Structure 1
């Protein structure tokens, strides 16, 4: 958010981050999931319409698709670019595992009325994402050709500010802000709910009334939003921020979450020991050994997490039996 506001409105990054996150925290804290869904709907329209418009204008500025491909350096059109196989595999694994079952995705799933709508929503979102990522990457290539000396974080805002006509510029800037705000608000809301329901409430000696729980969730949103602001101001780039968060998420939570949701494994010792093992291996590999072989600590951390989870789950299976899926009866009318 700071990058977009700085590039488009020339506001210094630090106040831009603080003001932008303040807006997100405000409507997330007081509006909850319903406010997140409503704003996401509007932001989706901005993204789906205005980014393709920016791509068309950018292609016209470089002389069309053929001229764009002719102007892009050859190493940017190869399969792995200047990455080694280990670096490419690491980045692929980080993006794949780091985005798996993250809270905004789960939040949208639980917001649907039933599993049929959830599956349909995910399928449509995947179809849309293909075109969205293609559009974003193409705009990045246009920025590389027209403005080769800018920082990578500035690619999309620079294209927008220099190529968009005045009548469209404000709407495209709003679309760029929508990318950030929709994600930030979803994380804030889901984090507040999880911390309150899964940590605070089980440790509370008395049952929480709804009003008290709502107050705690709002306060949590503010605290987490403040922490996110400090984190954003301390990392060097957007990609680094993503990789840091993936390194914290993937080697700890994914395997126990999959085990519980898909396979009914509800062993608390298996989950806690796997989380601990994944975190330790990741930290030692990434920061203690300085990522040997160019392999990010996320990969060995996930492997350690999986091995420990399976081992402890099998050892404690008699005390923590797997949850059996309920049998589903199909009547003759439903079958027909």
Structure 2
């Protein structure tokens, strides 16, 4: 009974702290622009913390530990390569000077390609937000259940989602940022101590761990880098995860920066610290595998919870909860901006309108509720990740990168490229992935970009040909 009380007290204290910070920063009256991106005067350290809190989620921790146990070095390489995504955004940020007054990726794409592509990207952002929040809600419920076993999991999911919606909907980006700072500091401190506990629980010298790993095929370089469909699948998924960092919640931090230089520096620092975070997560996965290599993936967390001290159980729950909430609140915020700023503003043909702020808050509530419902249909975190990549990556990333690098196509070229991305991912998921296991999100993204460039120059040639025909009736 005492152990139950200790872990619950730690969990309750963290939730009260988070809600207290959220309520404090939500009291200030604000304009819609301040609600969306703040005053653009955030300190570099604050932006680094909120980027890391957004990028490194509770679902990522849970999924990476499970997949390292199952796939070994294969998944560790995917995780490490994915860390380069923040440095990719750093390079893009330096070129985004002309877009720094925008509020979202969709607005940037709309400023180059027109209203229809902007609305499509906004819809994709909303879909991505729903799936990302669903992943975090799933982990939030699991993390609370670590301390409280007697409550129905669905009830836990509902309560945790409502608490998240409450502070993220009413406070805007200031609330999101400062709760992210608290949550980042929480899991950044707890994870190294937790990895040390797993190591002590293992009861083996550190130098004996690597020989034990070499006894298993999944941790041998010769097996991993042998050319087969598994290697192709690994590279494809790694590239998809790398490109997935160019998404609405992450790029939104560029718009919050004072300028391109600060944004570049912020993402550079975040990339370095992100590698450190993932190294700790990979170490936890390795130590758990060494301790129990024969356990199935669904039993990994049961092993972790065995003989764990009550205090550490409470801190582990808090760490998972902090990582999940910090990602989910950013996704709720970017989804709300997509509804109230990108979709409605495009329909009304005006940048601002009455009740825009209230609409953003209502949209945040509904996105959270849709995500909660989605958790009842999808329970596998890897399936939710692939769903998220398929919804967003094939459509939005290529037009955004091309716009940042100065490509200025028409609305038609953007729509043609987006259509090719959708058709590619649908065809891939139906005919290629079932037989090969290769994720097609990155390939569909490349197809989108190549089709846009091709369509742009073909339409130019056709336009010149029609103009020549109009000037010279006897041209043929």
* TM-score, normalised with respect to structure 2: 0.61
2:444 is aligned to 301
Matches of 2:159 and 2:225, distance apart in 1 = 37
Structure 2 residue 400 is the aligned partner of structure 1 residue 257: yes
Match of 2:371 among 214, 228, 247: 228
**Shift in Å at residue 151 of structure 1?**
5.4
Matches of 2:302 and 2:175, distance apart in 1 = 27
The C-alpha deviation readout for 1:257-286, integer Å capped at 9, x for no partner, is: 111122242521122221121112211220
Matches of 2:435 and 2:309, distance apart in 1 = 48
Structure 1: segments with no counterpart, 5+ residues: 320-336
Please say if residues 94 and 243 of structure 1, whose CA atoms lie closer than 8 Å, have aligned partners that are also in contact: no
Structure 2 residue 189 is the aligned partner of structure 1 residue 49: yes
Matches of 1:67 and 1:162, distance apart in 2 = 23
Would the alpha carbon gap of residues 192 and 175 (structure 1) be closer, same or farther in structure 2, given more than 3 Å must change? same
**Shift in Å at residue 294 of structure 1?**
3.3
Please say if residues 195 and 283 of structure 2, whose CA atoms lie closer than 8 Å, have aligned partners that are also in contact: yes
1:172 is aligned to 316
Match of 2:237 among 91, 95, 99: 91
Match of 1:270 among 408, 413, 429: 413
Matches of 1:158 and 1:34, distance apart in 2 = 39
Alignment of structure 1 residues 1-336 onto 2, 5 Å: 1-10=140-149, 11-62=151-202, 63-72=204-213, 73-79=215-221, 80=224, 84-97=230-243, 99-148=244-293, 152=297, 155=300, 159=304, 161-162=305-306, 164-204=308-348, 208-209=352-353, 212-288=355-431, 290-316=433-459
Please say if residues 100 and 254 of structure 1, whose CA atoms lie closer than 8 Å, have aligned partners that are also in contact: no
**Shift in Å at residue 166 of structure 1?**
3.1
Would the alpha carbon gap of residues 156 and 57 (structure 1) be closer, same or farther in structure 2, given more than 3 Å must change? same
**Shift in Å at residue 21 of structure 1?**
1.7
Please say if residues 104 and 187 of structure 1, whose CA atoms lie closer than 8 Å, have aligned partners that are also in contact: yes
Structure 2: segments with no counterpart, 5+ residues: 1-139, 463-476
Matches of 1:61 and 1:81, distance apart in 2 = 32
Range 112-121 or range 66-75, more displaced: 66-75
Q: How many residues align?
A: 317
The C-alpha deviation readout for 1:38-81, integer Å capped at 9, x for no partner, is: 11101111121110010111111112423433444522322438
Would the alpha carbon gap of residues 150 and 201 (structure 1) be closer, same or farther in structure 2, given more than 3 Å must change? farther
Secondary structure of 1:263's aligned partner: coil
Matches of 1:216 and 1:152, distance apart in 2 = 42
2:105 is aligned to none
* TM-score, normalised with respect to structure 1: 0.84
